[in-house]
């Protein structure tokens, strides 16, 4: 790739990707990662555990001109039995606390706020206490169409 930091005219893009992304896997079936349990193999699969890892994987794939697919909870996708070419990244933020990097509140109107989550962070981790019970007045829905809603009387 002319103009890239990887422009040595010899290196295989997949070898470069292996050097950049630790724990890179090849030919991994995607069905276990998808809500509907279907999907052929990812040519290359990487699990990003932080937003920084996700950004690094995306930049590297772009520089290497590899196709890129990013999957969050994979609750609203169907993947062909033929699988996905290039790099597939599973966004799996594994934070145990709300540290500001993973979410923020934005005031839209007086009395209303929207919770913005970064890729791979689950709603359940925010509104469920350590015993697994939802906060009072909140309903949690997992799987396809996941989300939270406030119960009103």
Q: Express the helix, strand and coil content of the chain in percent, nearest 5 each.
A: 20, 30, 50
Please name which of 36, 46, 56, 39 lies closest in space to residue 86, comparing C-alpha atoms.
46
Secondary structure E strands in the chain: 25-29, 41-48, 68-71, 84-91, 103-109, 112-117, 138-141, 147-150
**What is the SS3 assignment for 87?**
strand
Structure confidence by residue, pLDDT tens digits, 89-144: 999 876 544 444 444 444 444 445 555 556 666 666 556 566 666 656 655 555 55
Residue position matching structure tokens 């990487």: 46
Residue 25 pLDDT > 60: yes
Give the residue extent of every domain in the chain.
Answer: 13-91, 103-150
Cβ contacts of 99 within 8 Å, gap of 6 or more: none
Alpha helix positions (H), the chain: 13-20, 51-63, 124-127
* pLDDT at residue 108, as a whole number: 44
Question: Looking at the domain covering 13-91, what would its CATH class be?
Answer: alpha beta
Beta bridge partners of 87: 44, 68
Report percent pLDDT > 70 for the chain: 54
Count other Cβ atoms within 10 Å, centred on residue 70.
Answer: 16
d(CA 133, CA 105): 23
* pLDDT at residue 5, as a whole number: 53
pLDDT higher at 65 or 141: 65
pLDDT bin (cut points 50, 70, 90) of residue 146 is low
* pLDDT at residue 51, as a whole number: 83
């Amino acid at each position: 790739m002319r103009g890239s930091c990887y422009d040595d005219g010899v290196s295989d893009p997949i070898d470069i990707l292996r050097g950049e992304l630790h724990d890179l896997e090849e030919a991994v079936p995607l069905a276990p990662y998808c809500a509907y349990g279907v999907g052929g193999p990812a040519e290359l699969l990487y699990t990003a555990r932080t937003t920084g890892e996700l950004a690094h994987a995306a930049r590297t794939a772009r520089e290497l001109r590899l196709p890129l697919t990013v999957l969050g909870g994979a609750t609203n996708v169907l993947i062909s039995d033929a699988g996905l070419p290039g790099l597939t990244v599973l966004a799996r933020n594994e934070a145990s606390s709300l540290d500001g990097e993973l979410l923020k509140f934005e005031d839209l109107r007086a009395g209303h706020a929207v919770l913005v989550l970064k890729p791979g962070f689950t709603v359940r981790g925010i509104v469920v206490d350590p015993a697994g019970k939802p906060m009072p007045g909140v309903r949690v829905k997992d799987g396809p169409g996941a989300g939270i809603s406030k119960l009103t009387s």
